[in-house]
Amino acid sequence: MNALRVVIAVVSVGAVSVAGIYLAAWVDLLVGRAVAGLEVRPLDALSAPLRWGAATALKTRTTTERPDAETWALAPALLAALAAVGLAAVPLAPGLLAADVANGIVLFGAAMALVVVAVFLQGWSPNSPLPMIGGYRFIAEGLSYEIPLAVVLIAAALPARSLAIAPIVTSQEHLWNIVRQPLGLPLYLMAGLGLAFWGPLALPEGQDLAGGSSLETSGVSRILWRTAQLLVLVAVAAMGAAVFLGGWLGPLFPGAAWMIVKTIILLVPLIATRHFVARVPTERYVVVSWAILIPLSLLDVFIAGIQALVAAR
């Protein structure tokens, strides 16, 4: 019976991951076409991610001198696995989640903290200078997004007095955390962009490094890396929907439908930043994070703690 539950959980997370990746790729394409002033055909764009994948797969794979082939192949698999673990902790509805653990916030945070390992392997493995610099750059900025991400998630857990995701959702029945903790969601999304190295915070893959950690990645490996990156964005949006927007709570429609809608509401602006916001220099991001984002996240958790103490009386 336990084996059957594991199989069902793995299949469920896999299905949700594939759907989320495809949706993210589709939204990215639509926003990109709109920003470029091209005709936007949503139905025609449905097949565009598949066409891109087919064209990329047919390209000759880049080779370098004496790469670490094993870790190079491991990097996208590790990134996708970490994103899937984070996604598994997020419930679609009451009792409907793959990893029903008592410390869901901790599981998510631990998985996301290890993303830095996957990105570093992606940059280090080709044995090429610019990708390696990109990998080291991601390590240098790691704490700049990990600390705000962890602190605001802890703050969101305080009203529920639990680190499990389901109680955090139910604690928002009368008031969502986005209202109770207005600093939390913006800080979380900014940290999520850094975690997914996307848009303005695509620092390890910056154009100043000609593509950085992914410079030497091509063919099927590039497809796997991009889909894993999109899955990280999906996991970030799903967790944000659960802990800040009330998760499955909502009138009329089933809880799972509300969870999907709220995830999309967060996923679209995250993806759109790639087309609307310029990439920031690494040094500026680190300075802003330590001078502004981290102090604000500490303020957020202090306010949440005071609110929890007042509510307990």
Could you please report the per-residue DSSP string of 109-171? HHHHHTHHHHHHHHHHTT--HHHHHHHHHHHHHHHHHHHHHHHHHHHHHGGGT-SSHHHHHHT
pLDDT at 39: 77
Rounded to whole angstroms, how far apart are CA atoms 217 and 149? 29
List the beta bridge partners of residue 96.
Answer: 93
pLDDT at 1: 44
Token pair, residue 82, equals 């970490």
Q: How far is CA 257 from CA 16, 106, 254, 260, in A?
A: 13, 26, 5, 5
Query: Which residue spans within the chain are E strands per DSSP?
Result: none
- Helix or strand run (H / E) with residue 100: none
For 136-148, how does the pLDDT look when each residue is reduced to its tens digit (9 = 90+)? Answer: 999 988 889 999 9
Confirm if 215 and 149 have CB atoms less than 8 A apart.
no
Give the chain's residues under pLDDT 50.
1
